[in-house]
């Protein structure tokens, strides 16, 4: 059985589709329930458990899950995959059945040629580290720090946002941290950015792990314990993905304007596209 090389473009479209579907629902909600206050509902309020855990700690959650996925995948390939005959591996590549992204291609070469184990293993780790740097660097530049205030904070200020009664404080984050109110301007949706980016990246990484589990099992016949472990990892990733999708849906239905949500989602899709589809890291 060949390694699955199907390009998973559909992963990139899940969050934009939710954004489009929820737009008319948001409009109906605003017309039928103009005084609805999400802060009165514990599950969807900004300080609710879903937001405090899965949005406020999304950086840590994604990193932990990313590490877990890679540990399992590397262990699977290093210790459970049989070596591929060189002739067979060449034929696989010629038929286009070898992995197309750089990180999985390194692991594939690992079982093609064990003599290059050190070099291919190092290259795999370098690519995964570069992937993390692109993901975290992009998000951080938008909502955390970009040679000072973040890009989104600068846009917020430059579009008329101001700290109420404290004009000496020009940026949203500094104003809120000081306990003041910040009004006006175009506040790009950071929640749309982080949930779309992390959930979509997690989906690509989980699919990669699952492809390897299926591939190695087809070659070597994995034990029930290993298959069960793979399913547990898959379940954990799926739970986190669905939770981030839920946070995104709540954001679309109750927070930010449509334009602000579009900017956050579009930025995230650009990051995911470049990382997994354009440059195939």
Segment 75-126, tens digit of pLDDT: 988 887 765 554 444 444 434 456 778 888 888 877 776 666 667 888 899 9
* Cα–Cα dist 225/234, whole Å: 14
Find the helix packing angle between 117-143 and 258-272, rounded to 10°: 160
Task: Give pLDDT, residue 98.
Answer: 62
Closest CA to 15 of 280, 209, 194, 213: 194
Q: Is the pLDDT of residue 2 over 80?
A: no
* Cα–Cα dist 127/104, whole Å: 10
Give the pLDDT mean for 142-169. 93
- 247-277 pLDDT per residue, tens: 999 999 999 999 999 999 999 999 999 999 9
Cα–Cα distance list, 165 to 156, 160, 190 (Å): 17, 14, 25
pTM for the full model? 0.92
Q: For all residues of the chain together, what is the average pLDDT?
A: 88
Higher pLDDT, 223 or 67: 67
Q: Is the pLDDT of residue 192 over 50?
A: yes
Query: Cα angle at 194 between 250 and 267, to 5 degrees?
Result: 105
Closest CA to 264 of 172, 197, 156, 192: 192
Beta strands of the chain (E only): which ranges? 162-163, 182-183
* Cα–Cα dist 193/210, whole Å: 26
Out of 115-124, 125-134, 147-156, 209-218, pick the least confident.
115-124
Burial profile 154-175: b = 16 or more Cβ within 10 angstroms, e = fewer: bbbbeeebbbeeeeebbbbbeb
Higher pLDDT, 90 or 208: 208
Cross-strand pairs, 182: 163
Closest CA to 156 of 185, 199, 182: 185
Task: Give pLDDT, residue 122.
Answer: 86
What pLDDT band is residue 220 in, cutting at 50, 70 and 90?
A: confident
Give the pLDDT mean for 210-224. 87
Task: Give pLDDT, residue 209.
Answer: 93
* Cα–Cα dist 106/126, whole Å: 11
* Cα–Cα dist 187/7, whole Å: 34
* Cα–Cα dist 85/82, whole Å: 9
Task: Give pLDDT, residue 104.
Answer: 85
Cα–Cα distance list, 163 to 158, 191, 197 (Å): 13, 21, 29
Give the pLDDT mean for 181-202. 96
Closest CA to 125 of 81, 70, 77: 70
Higher pLDDT, 41 or 200: 200
Q: Is the pLDDT of residue 15 over 90?
A: yes
Task: Give pLDDT, residue 95.
Answer: 43
For residue 221, the SS3 value is coil
């Amino acid at each position: 059985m060949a390694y699955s090389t199907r390009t998973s473009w559909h992963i990139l479209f899940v969050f934009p589709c939710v954004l489009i579907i929820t737009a008319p629902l948001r409009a109906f909600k605003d017309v039928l329930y103009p005084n609805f206050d999400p802060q009165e509902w514990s599950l969807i309020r900004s300080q609710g458990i879903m937001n405090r855990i899965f949005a406020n700690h999304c950086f840590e959650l994604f990193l932990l899950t990313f590490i877990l996925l890679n540990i399992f995948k590397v262990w699977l390939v290093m210790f459970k995959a049989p070596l591929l005959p060189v002739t067979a591996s060449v034929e696989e590549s010629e038929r286009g059945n070898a992995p197309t992204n750089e990180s999985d291609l390194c692991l594939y070469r690992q079982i093609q040629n064990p003599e290059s184990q050190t070099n291919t293993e190092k290259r795999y780790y370098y690519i995964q580290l570069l992937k993390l740097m692109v993901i975290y660097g992009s998000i951080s530049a938008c909502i955390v720090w970009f040679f000072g205030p973040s890009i989104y904070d600068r846009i917020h200020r430059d579009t008329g946002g101001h700290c109420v009664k404290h004009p000496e404080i020009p940026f949203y984050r500094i104003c809120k941290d000081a306990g003041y109110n910040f009004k006006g301007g175009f506040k790009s949706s950071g929640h749309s950015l982080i949930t779309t980016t992390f959930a979509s990246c997690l989906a690509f990484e989980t699919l990669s792990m699952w492809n390897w589990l299926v591939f190695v099992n087809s070659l070597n016949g994995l034990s029930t314990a290993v298959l069960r472990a793979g399913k547990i990892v898959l379940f954990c990733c799926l739970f986190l993905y669905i939770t981030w999708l839920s946070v995104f849906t709540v954001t679309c239905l109750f927070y930010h304007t449509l334009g602000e949500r579009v900017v956050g989602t579009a930025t995230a899709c650009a990051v995911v596209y470049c990382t997994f589809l354009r440059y195939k890291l």
